[in-house]
Amino acid sequence: MIRQNIVILGGTGFVGRHLVARLAADGHAVTLLSRNLASHHDRLLPPGVVLREVDVYDPTVLRQAFTGADAVINLVGILNEAGDSGRGFRRAHVELTKLVVAAMQLAGTRRLLQMSSLNAGRGQSHYLKSRGEAEAAVKASGLDWTIFEPSVIFGHGDGLFCRFAQLLKLAPVLPLARAGCKFAPVYVGDVVEAFVRALGNRRSIGEVYELYGPEVFTMAEIVKMTAKARGLTRLVVPLPDLLGRLQGFVFDFVPGKPFSSDNFRSLATDSVGGIDGLHRLGIVPTRVGAKLPEILGHFDDRQTRYARYRAAR
């Protein structure tokens, strides 16, 4: 494998942490761009990885950061915004992507790997609309681009099973909006492998890869699987759309936004895919059952350590 100089935006997030570790292990020189180093001061970076605090919305800074790079990976994404206007999604997904494209063109760096989402550009949610606009900007860029469209991603520290494990620990009854929405969860290790294989494969240029797992579950089934794996007896109550919409509206004003009106709109479209991108890249998908005990066991260990820490204070 040829060693490359890679610049990553959004590399301190869930997927980014796994991808950075893999790229560093493969011998690549990795630079992470972050707007706030203070929030990552306790993060141990692998050898060969540099974390730089920059304003990623500054075109000059981006051009300087991309100069001399072999590839740029844009993982930036948000699931919720302040309010419900769509401005936060457009800024994070569309405006930043356009800045990245322009800076790469000026820097002479051609290879771009762009994270997106299944159903990008479909439906009525600001999230999916902005993902679709970002994809359109990438496709029109003239760069050597590859786009990845994952379904919901699972793994250590995910926002799926680990998130529901936290909620179920507190709630004996869980009212669930869009309980019948379907997902084909994809393992974070498979997503990382897709990025790695595409990075070293010129045939992936100009391609869009849908990344999804081999199993389809409803939202309610995912919650029940989590409860069972945690040894909990919990009641899942599917909400009619009227109450689900109301739940999203109420949570719009809750700090941290565990759910939102835009989440409700996104869940109107099943996240199951149609053309298997993992298969196209020669990757055998990981089944949920093969990893769930490990994921929630890891979650248990972390929660136990935290509880002991609080008790000792």
The pLDDT, as a whole number, for residue 298 is: 67
The pLDDT, as a whole number, for residue 300 is: 56
Relative to beta strand 71-74, strand 49-53 is unpaired
CA-angle at 32, arms to 98 and 90, nearest 5° = 30
Cα end-to-end span (Å), the chain: 49
- For residue 261, give Cα distances in angstroms to 4, 86, 134: 41, 11, 21
The pLDDT, as a whole number, for residue 308 is: 42
Tokens 């895919």 correspond to 273
Q: How many CA atoms within 13 Å lie on the side-chain side of 201?
A: 14
Q: What does the alpha-carbon distance between residue 54 and residue 260 come to, in Å, rounded to a whole number? A: 30
Residue 145 phi, psi dihedral angles, 5° rounding: -100, 155
Q: Would you kindly state where each structural domain of the chain is located, as residue ranges?
A: 5-154+185-214+273-287
CB atoms within 10 A of CB 216: 16
Does this model's pTM top 0.95? My answer is no
Q: What does the alpha-carbon distance between residue 213 and residue 104 come to, in Å, rounded to a whole number? A: 32
Q: What does the alpha-carbon distance between residue 79 and residue 97 come to, in Å, rounded to a whole number? A: 16
Q: Which CATH number, 3.30.70.330, 3.40.50.880, 3.40.50.720, 3.30.70.240, labels domain 5-154+185-214+273-287?
A: 3.40.50.720
Beta bridge partners of 150: 211
The pLDDT, as a whole number, for residue 256 is: 82
Interhelix angle 14-25/188-199, rounded to 10 degrees, is 50
The pLDDT, as a whole number, for residue 170 is: 87
Question: E strand or H helix at 236, and its extent?
Answer: strand 235-238
Q: Taking the CA atoms of the chain, what radius of gyration do you get in angstroms?
A: 20
The pLDDT, as a whole number, for residue 306 is: 47
Q: What is the mean pLDDT of each run of 10 residues along the chain (313 residues)?
A: 92 94 96 76 74 95 98 97 96 98 98 98 97 98 98 95 91 94 98 97 97 98 95 95 96 89 97 96 97 83 47 45
Q: What does the alpha-carbon distance between residue 303 and residue 300 come to, in Å, rounded to a whole number? A: 5
Tens digits of residue pLDDT in 133-192: 999 999 999 999 999 999 999 999 999 999 999 989 888 999 999 999 999 999 999 999
The pLDDT, as a whole number, for residue 255 is: 86
The pLDDT, as a whole number, for residue 139 is: 98
Q: What is the DSSP letter of 285?
A: P
The pLDDT, as a whole number, for residue 1 is: 66
